Amino acid sequence: MNILNSFKKGVTGIVQSLSRYPVTILWLLVVATLNAMQIQNDFDLYSRWLYTALTGVMLAAVAQHLYEHFFVKENNRWLLAFLAVVLAILYYFSLPSNNQYDLIYPIRTIVLLFALFIAFIWIPTIKSDRLYFHSNFLIIFESVMMTFLMAVVLSIGVSAILGSVDFLLFNFDSRVYGHAFNIIGTLFAPIYFLSLIPNYKKTNPTDADHATKVPRFLEILLVYIVIPLVAIYTLVLTAYVVLNIGGEFWTNNLLEPLLVSYAIIVIVVYLLVCNIDHKYSRLFRRIFPKIMLVVVLFQTAASILRIQNLGITHGRYYVILFGIFATVAAIIFSFFPKERSGWIAPVLIALSLISVAPVIDAFSVGRGSQQNLLERKLQENDMLVADEIVPNSQIPLEDKVAITKSVDYLTVWGDVDQVSFLPDNFDIYSDFNEVFGFNMIYSVSPDDGPFAPEGRFVYLDWEGAGSVSLEGADYLLKVSLYNNEENRSQKVSEDLNLIIEDADSLILENNSGTQILRFEMQQLFEKAFSEADETQKGGNVTLESMMETQENEQAKMTVIITQLEEYNDVTNGELFVIITIK
């Protein structure tokens, strides 16, 4: 009977969500349709339409919460819904009209969706004496977890059914799986999630209090598992900071992600335990926000030092913004009652919008910072004369790293053409060494002495490679050396296997394990790296230095390297293997 009542309640909630969020549901149908079209056959401007529809989903949901919290008349509801649609359409025209993929737009869309989601949580709690931000955060958290669980269970069930039909009855197009998961992920899951969100103006106080009550399981999980784990993590982080406080600690790549992740954990746990009246939760609320404040100051100092050395990137921009937000959050959590926790929401929304606003957004600031850093490093080393670059291989290694990373960043984000002193049609992989006078260097390792390179890399110069004769050859294989932590076997034929041993030896053997030919690649690797160093062509190396043949009375093997990387004595790469059986 309880199961039947729960089912009826769930169906009723879904039906009510359809009438409560009609515009949101329509946008979800658009998202599902776009995904279905993409699954069936790739089409142009999929990303542009998808980002618009997703933004429309969240704008419509936020508009509904604004209506429920601040308005009464039905006309206001449809006016807000109309404004939400207009904003989504305007966002469509802010996206690129061509089909060129650019990372800026998905990141910008994700930030906007995040800001809208925070507004979705915060709006029902504004000046409310029935619902606080931390209480609604708990409701949203539980709803997300429940939705995720339902979606996973449903996905597993649908996969099992489709797999059984495909195996036992008849075969069907594998895209059916994609369509099924699309319906679950873009229609069922969001609608089910919306059905779990209470309308507090229509919910009686008893049901509202029940909705904000922490389930016993979650309470035990937070009080007796999560809080002790956070305490232990705090001790480990503190020990790491104390033991490594000097020297290069402040510019260590590990510092920023460690401190940022710690602040995120404390904020989330704080908002959840605000709903629990327990001595451990009270102790957590009293102590850990103050610890987080100290941690955030460390993180901000580390970020500023990295900016001085390597300039601002969009990632470091967001780290700085998060540091500002976390500082404000730590102050609010430390010195104000828990009922004021909602003050962090407008701060987070404002910082998110700033990060995507024209001129001051993360990408414009990152682009300008990297261009200025590149120009400054060239001028400091007398490599920029009359707006032209003068190659110089004798500059400090840390400057080589800074120049490499700046040029790489500008290339990745499509801004390299805007740098006036770089040659027209500059290509970082083929032209870098010729323009700057040294190979690209991305990092340094103190273990090899002051500012010693951490790794080497080479690529086959395909344009000048010409052709390789396969006359008399029996097999041609493509072999990957990536993630080759242990010996790996690759099938050559029914009778032959190729063993990749420690990423520097190839062993041809038959099914009984008898070795036919062993190819030692270390000499070939060194030849390839040596040409890159001697000719100073950057990573591009001729076919002659990337190819070698070894043979015995039973077989002949020719290896052609297409790309090769060596970092901290670990070799990765890709190569072609030509095998001839005598």
Q: What is the DSSP string of 12-60?
A: HHHHHHHHHSHHHHHHHHHHHHHHHHHHHS--TTHHHHHHHHHHHHHHH
Q: How far is CA 135 from the centre of its chain?
A: 29
The Cα–Cα gap between 21 and 529 comes to 61
Q: φ and ψ at 72, to 5 degrees?
A: -125, -45
The Cα–Cα gap between 2 and 69 comes to 33
Which pLDDT score, from 0 to 100, does residue 3 have? 52
Sign of the Cα torsion 363, 369, 375, 378 reads negative
Which pLDDT score, from 0 to 100, does residue 71 have? 87
Which pLDDT score, from 0 to 100, does residue 347 have? 94
Could you report how far apart the first and last alpha carbons of the chain are, in Å? 76
- CB count, 10 Å around CB of 444? 18
DSSP 423: P
Instruction: Please work out, in degrees rounded to the nearest 5, the angle formed at the alpha carbon of residue 177 by the alpha carbons of 172 and 178.
Output: 125
Q: Inter-axis angle of helices 344-354 and 314-335, to 10 degrees?
A: 170
> Could you tell me the two tokens for 162?
């489709």
Q: What share of the chain is helix, strand, coil (3-state, %, to 5)?
A: 60, 15, 25
137: three-class secondary structure by DSSP: helix
Query: Exposed, middle or buried: residue 529 (CB in 10 Å: 0-12, 13-18, 19+)?
Result: middle
Instruction: Please work out, in degrees rounded to the nearest 5, the angle formed at the alpha carbon of residue 157 by the alpha carbons of 151 and 162.
Output: 120
The Cα–Cα gap between 403 and 436 comes to 9
Residue labelled with tokens 């996905």 = 155
Query: Exposed, middle or buried: residue 113 (CB in 10 Å: 0-12, 13-18, 19+)?
Result: middle
Instruction: Please work out, in degrees rounded to the nearest 5, the angle formed at the alpha carbon of residue 250 by the alpha carbons of 245 and 256.
Output: 115
Sign of the Cα torsion 132, 134, 140, 142 reads negative
Residue labelled with tokens 């359809």 = 18
Q: What is the pLDDT along the chain (582 residues), one digit of tens a residue?
A: 455 555 566 677 677 778 889 999 999 999 999 999 998 887 778 888 999 999 999 999 999 999 998 888 889 999 999 999 999 999 998 887 765 556 788 889 999 999 999 999 999 999 887 788 998 999 999 999 999 999 999 999 999 998 888 788 878 778 888 899 999 999 999 999 999 888 877 665 555 556 677 888 888 999 999 999 999 988 888 887 777 676 566 666 666 777 788 889 999 999 999 988 888 889 999 999 998 888 888 777 777 777 777 788 888 888 889 889 999 999 999 999 988 999 999 999 999 999 988 888 888 898 888 899 988 988 988 888 888 888 887 888 788 888 888 888 888 877 787 888 888 888 877 778 778 887 777 765 444 333 334 456 777 877 666 778 888 889 999 888 876 656 778 888 888 999 888 777 899 998 888 899 999 888 888 888 877 665 544 557 788 888 899 999 899 999 998 888 776 667 788 899 999 988
Secondary structure of 298-313 in HEC code, one letter for each residue: HHHHHHHHHHHHHCCC
Spatial contact of 578 and 557, defined as CB atoms under 8 Å apart: yes
Residue (of 362, 316, 346) closest to 107 by Cα position: 362
The Cα–Cα gap between 579 and 559 comes to 9
> Could you tell me the two tokens for 48?
């542009």
Which pLDDT score, from 0 to 100, does residue 448 have? 36
Which pLDDT score, from 0 to 100, does residue 294 have? 86
Instruction: Please work out, in degrees rounded to the nearest 5, the angle formed at the alpha carbon of residue 448 by the alpha carbons of 444 and 452.
Output: 35
Helices (H), 244-313: 255-273, 279-310
> Could you tell me the two tokens for 49?
């339409």
Q: How far is CA 566 from the centre of its chain?
A: 25
Instruction: Please work out, in degrees rounded to the nearest 5, the angle formed at the alpha carbon of residue 507 by the alpha carbons of 505 and 512.
Output: 150
Query: Exposed, middle or buried: residue 466 (CB in 10 Å: 0-12, 13-18, 19+)?
Result: exposed
The Cα–Cα gap between 582 and 93 comes to 65
The Cα–Cα gap between 262 and 482 comes to 32
DSSP 320: H
> Could you tell me the two tokens for 234?
């705090």
The Cα–Cα gap between 71 and 80 comes to 10
Mode of pairing for the β-strands spanning 540-541 and 455-460? parallel
Q: What separation in angstroms does the CA of 315 have from each of 101, 104, 360, 362, 412?
A: 19, 12, 14, 8, 13
The Cα–Cα gap between 519 and 548 comes to 10
The Cα–Cα gap between 377 and 399 comes to 7
132: three-class secondary structure by DSSP: coil
Q: Where are the domains of the chain?
A: 2-211, 216-354, 362-453, 475-581
Q: Which amino acid is at 539?
A: G
- pTM surpassing 0.85? no
